A = this chain, B = another copy of it.
């Protein structure tokens, strides 16, 4: 049975998607066809959205589910004329919140993912630059400025985790890949020793590691299961003997890896 979900917003659509995906994930047996309609910020665009929804309804033979985070009431009213089942975030929560806060909503469009302050924009850019400049152990002389330093074998998820922490939270994250040489010595590299308190280990299932490495260098020693098993065994032993906090990335998304590390280490977020 085909069922379509629309995420409709007058801004980026990120909130509608996050909320909608959270709710839909609870219905694992249904395969949803998902459509995001961002920047629906005029009556004309709302009318076009309604046409699209109603057409999909006819094709599906089922009414679509609409997750609506449009702030403007007139636009929202147009959207509610479609035949879809509608989950309307602002109708549900904004009025009661006005009462609770004793304050009127500004009903201004697209505020949540807009630029708030120039300083937080700069923090974000600086954090992204930091992650790129301090990626892959290329440079270690800025580690004193890092909030966290991820370490582990090549391709275990360090780079995307660092970038996510930078973009989403403004956390300055460096990463240092443990090389064959580091693993052969069975000890933390000298260069990391001054930053013990900032280190966080990533590990991974050897099968998954081999499959990820295979994408980069197929049929190499680097991507062989033997090699991956060896590296993971050594690195996990090193994390235990060195008493480094660590996480197995196999079962976690990048969002989960990033938020778990931030929560566990109590890292300060520069963005809100």
Contacts and interface: CB of A to CB of B under 8 A. Distances in A.
B34 A272 contact: yes
A23 B95 CA distance: 10
B87 A97 contact: yes
Interface string A85-121: 1010110111011001101011110111111001001
A2 B124 CA distance: 26
B251 A23 contact: no
A124 B69 CA distance: 26
A177 interface: no
A114 B253 contact: yes
A14 B18 contact: yes
A105 B27 CA distance: 5
A234 B232 CA distance: 52
A113 B23 contact: no
Contacts of A263: 38-39
Nearest to A258: B12
Interface in A109-147: 110-115, 118, 121-122, 124-126, 128-129, 132, 135
A6 interface: no
The 6 closest A-B pairs by CB, nearest first: A25-B111, A22-B112, A26-B105, A113-B255, A12-B259, A18-B18
11 contacts: A3-B101, A12-B256, A14-B259, A28-B108, A30-B103, A65-B97, A87-B93, A92-B93, A122-B215, A125-B212, A126-B215
